[in-house]
Each structure stands twice: as C-alpha cells, then as structure tokens.
Amino acid sequence: MLYLVRMDVNLPNDMPAAQADDIKAREKAYAQQLQHEGKWQQLYRVVGEYANYSIFDVASHDELHTLLSGLPLFPYMKIHVTPLAKHPSSIR
C-alpha cells in the first residue's frame, strides 16, 4: 500500500542543541534504514520549511503507524497521511 506522508517538525526552542543533534542523528539513521528496506521509497524536503513529503510502501495502515511512531522526531511532528491508489492514466 502506498502512502503520501507530510511531516512537519517543531522542536522546542529551549531544547539543548546536543539533544536536538542526537535526535536528528537517530532520525537520519532510522529513515535511511527504512529506505534501504524499501518501505520509505521517496523523501523530499519542503523548501523553506522544516518539513518533508515522503512516499511509503508498506503492507498496512498499522505498519505505517508503527514505522511513523518509531521516528525519533515523532513527538515533535505534525503528520498528515494520504493513502494512494494507482491512477488509470499512469504509465508506471
């Protein structure tokens, strides 16, 4: 199942830089692991925002929820999920 996911990150202004750097490093490692596994298929930055659009390919809503809630930045995110279906005019 394909999903378009928008993630907006809002770290607290008073979060110590070392803590933020640690969370971001763990986030990057986890995101890259999911990409290598083929579950996180595309990752695009939103220009001028601390946000991204991503394409996930997972077996179920529950799997997506588990993956997203496992993100180290999850507590600081607003997430919007859109399930996708194949378009009849698509050549892919």
The pLDDT of residue 76 is above 90 = yes
pLDDT range class, residue 6, cuts 50, 70, 90:
very high
| DSSP E strand boundaries for the chain | 2-9, 40-45, 51-57, 77-84
The pLDDT of residue 92 is above 90 = no
Specify the pLDDT at position 82: 98
Domain at 2-84, CATH homologous superfamily: Dimeric alpha+beta barrel (3.30.70.1060)
Domain boundaries, the chain: 2-84
Q: What average pLDDT does range 7-11 have in this prediction?
A: 98
Across the chain, mean pLDDT equals 97
Is this model's pTM higher than 0.85 or not?
yes
Number of other residues whose CB lies within 10 A of the CB of residue 56 = 22
